[in-house]
A and B are shown apart, each in its own frame.
Chain A
């Protein structure tokens, strides 16, 4: 058994432990007992994914090569964090109020919910993050190789490509398991956040342990170590001024714009107040992380042989001193840094790719756009899983092609400079109302092109993407197009060069094009909401309501959010508007809320597109325009109040009209009822009278005729009695004089009995039963409940107009209600008749099916007496009725 085998075992145990932590956190979150998950400490620790393997290994390497320059990478984020009141607080508030799911979502959402920008930002993010993921793979393989050197038996790890492949595969599996378990409307991942918080502690402990060992174990104390530092090659301050400033700015920018940092900073933020703690705790974390870097580098340079890779000092210094245990801890620290970064980066990128690239394409390809049928949640999840795999595969390929040879720091800086291109658009988004879509696109495009040309492509070395000729003399021999000396200015450090040109031209183009172009109304609107987020926490509206089909919205939302969540959302909204049932008025507020909910699953741009497909188009109301255009706050306030009042009035008027319409209908119905009831009573009466006259007046009737006439009289009398029974029943129920006969019984038996007594199955109606199948014991008036079921089944039998009629009976339990849905596959009940079906003598169709139109009215009264309710459930593809019973009527089957 070599050290390496133990290492692999420790590694696997550690991963298993992380699984456990993630799993427990997820379960605790599901049960709502996760208050400790939401502590500011966990938030602060989760930010530490900023410290990747680059920090853990690369910082020491960087310090050994160029002294204190490595500190810039931590000073930048520290400046951002201590300035939280200024920038981060606003970013987090915007992210929370707008339900932002990624940085691409934020930028596209701010600039008019533009799909083009979303796609563009996503692409830059993927390209920019790829080198970073490759860096993590490289550092893990290097650390394996460091162990392999002292354990000659284990040569299999000398094959670094195979190791990298294994690591990439393992990380993909972990990320898929925990990053895409569910589609949370807020895109929060409790399990993953908890796991990375644990990893943050591990890497801090590991680095501090190695530092303490180096300072007190090898260096001989603080003052001796300081003296040793001054005596070393990096004993004096030699940092290039340009690099010091440029890299501090770069790391500050990257801290805000790296997709994974945006994910933990903004998207996973549970509570704005956590930022308050993180503002001082995270800089402290960074300080401790970098405290021992120089001592380790100096001691490493001293005691390690010439030519040893300084990137590996954290590991090789303890190893060379025979400290296997410490080396193991240090390895776990590095492993933690690499894995946590890759996991969060893959989640963030997969969210962006699936929301902004895959879903829009899929929705376009699937004919009919937002109104096609079927649940799309599985498509979203599949897209995310595939994207995670794709992102890791790209990282692995970069690792293979870049040859895995470069120092860790230089790879990291490529990524930083790439994602820093988002900064002008991001800052403009939250601080400058005048910034617009054209400016953002222009700035991003220019910055991205300069970054690719001057940094990314040359990083592969001459001859891979750019020939040595181009690197030496510029594109097409134009000397001002030399990749690393643009515009003829030679002799700048390559990193400073790229940062200088890309950021200044990016910001310049952003400002210039914002100034000379003209924004769309939606951009102005979003601009006001983003920039003045603290003033307008109540949001201006983007929708003018009243014309949308609430039922269509429900059909669409069910596919994205799932039926249970959608029905709850709609029901709650309807309740808040003082309506019963599942269809709220499509008020601007409600549409806004629905769009946000959808945005949590598919991104703002797609959600907006889907809602507008149903609404016709997004309209910006006078109120919104006033909010945007008018700079005087009072004027704006006053007008928008007026607007709000007039909207309120027109809504009330609409509701009054609806009520009036219903009253008119009821009155018409009452007249119809009187004529109906006279007719219904008269028909049997007439035949009874005429046949009894025959019996009385005709002599010498044959016995056969006699029996026939008597039979007719009998049947008509029965029909008459049944009609009167129904009427009586209804009036008793309505007056509340009914006596309930409470007994115990099993719900499933009751349904079976109801099906049997309608004879539905022999009449060609196909009945499916789904949902809870175990016996549910209940205590209620079983006969009355059976009467409701029989009525609903009989209705499906009578009125379902499908060629092959089917009825689904689904039993579910939710929010302390037992719910039985009866859904058939016919054409359903037309919208204008839906609110009348439960009224007396209302008949939906003219099809004579023999009923007097009392059945559903009786059902409604029975359910009210039993403490439950019956409602028509729209948007299910056919006629659907929902019977709900409070759970206290049900007892768990013992």
Chain B
């Protein structure tokens, strides 16, 4: 049993690493989209957004992006690239 499970385990690991790579590549786009939201806020009239809320929004995104990037660095492993050539 265990002999069959170990390749499966490796497969799962390399699969995870590759999805982490995808996530890492998407990060800047995610950041760009989230930080583009202020463009939709109206600059005049009744519904003006107060600066304090804008600050909270922008800095929370900042902290979240840094945290996710930190989390992803634990997953990313360049050596998995060599596995990919053998796989489908």
Contacts and interface: CB of A to CB of B under 8 A. Distances in A.
Interface in A57-101: 67-68, 71, 75, 78-86
Taking chain B's interface residues, is the majority helix, strand, or loop, or is none over half, making it mixed?
A: helix
B69 A67 contact: no
A280 B67 contact: yes
B54 A283 contact: no
B49 interface: yes
A232 B51 CA distance: 9
B39 interface: yes
Interface string A270-299: 000000110110011001000100100000
Interface in B11-62: 21, 24-25, 27-29, 31-32, 35-36, 38-39, 41, 43, 48-52, 54-55, 58-59, 62
A85 B24 contact: yes
Given A71-B58, A284-B66, A227 B73 contact: no
A283 B66 contact: yes
B69 A283 contact: yes
Contacts of A80: 28
A438 B61 CA distance: 41
Contacts of A78: 31, 62, 65
Contacts, number: 102
Contacts of A279: 69, 73
Contacts of A229: 51-52, 55
A244 interface: yes
B48 to A, nearest CB: 4
Interface string A237-256: 11111001100100000000
A71 B36 CA distance: 12
Contacts of B39: 241, 244-245
A256 B36 CA distance: 21
Contact of B59 (A85, A230, A287): A287
Contacts of A232: 51
A502 to B, nearest CB: 21
B20 to A, nearest CB: 9
A238 B58 CA distance: 15
B70 interface: yes
Contacts of B70: 280
A86 B63 CA distance: 21
A68 B59 CA distance: 12
A276 B65 contact: no
Nearest to A227: B52
A135 to B, nearest CB: 25
A84 B70 CA distance: 12
A612 B43 CA distance: 62
B24 A237 contact: no
B51 A67 contact: yes
A82 B66 contact: yes
Contacts of A166: none
A237 B81 contact: no
B28 A287 contact: no
B38 A287 contact: no
B52 A237 contact: no
A487 interface: no
A44 B82 CA distance: 29
A226 interface: yes
Nearest to A285: B66
Instruction: Identify the interface centre among B27, B41, B51: most chain A CB within 10 Å of its CB.
Output: B51
A276 B75 CA distance: 11
B27 A68 contact: no
Given A67-B51, A86-B24, A229-B55, A244 B66 contact: no
A456 to B, nearest CB: 29
Interface in A310-325: none
Contact of A245 (B36, B51, B55): B36
A554 interface: no
B61 to A, nearest CB: 9
Contacts of B59: 287, 291
A85 B70 CA distance: 12
Interface in A752-783: none
Contact of B52 (A83, A226, A277, A287): A226
Contacts of A83: 24-25, 27-29, 31
Contacts of A79: 28, 31-32, 35
A86 B25 contact: yes
Given A67-B51, A80-B28, A82-B28, A238 B43 contact: yes
B52 A276 contact: no
A489 B31 CA distance: 31
A235 B43 CA distance: 11
A534 interface: yes
Contacts of A245: 36, 39
Contacts of A287: 59, 62-63, 66
A294 B67 contact: no
Instruction: Identify the interface centre among A67, A287, A294: most chain B CB within 10 Å of its CB.
Output: A287
A343 B63 CA distance: 31
A239 B41 CA distance: 9
A280 B31 contact: no
Contacts of A283: 62, 65-66, 69
Nearest to A85: B24
A557 B78 CA distance: 36
Given A280-B66, A283-B62, A237 B38 contact: yes
A234 to B, nearest CB: 6
A242 B87 CA distance: 46
Interface of B: 21, 24-25, 27-29, 31-32, 35-36, 38-39, 41, 43, 48-52, 54-55, 58-59, 62-63, 65-70, 73, 76, 81
15 contacts: A78-B31, A79-B28, A79-B35, A80-B28, A83-B24, A83-B27, A83-B28, A86-B25, A235-B50, A237-B49, A239-B43, A244-B39, A280-B66, A287-B59, A287-B62
Given A237-B51, A283-B69, 18 more contacts: A68-B38, A68-B51, A68-B55, A68-B58, A81-B69, A82-B27, A83-B29, A86-B25, A227-B52, A236-B50, A236-B51, A237-B43, A239-B38, A244-B39, A277-B73, A283-B65, A287-B63, A294-B51
Counting from the closest, the 7 A-B pairs by CB-CB distance are: A83-B28, A85-B24, A280-B70, A226-B52, A236-B48, A237-B49, A280-B69
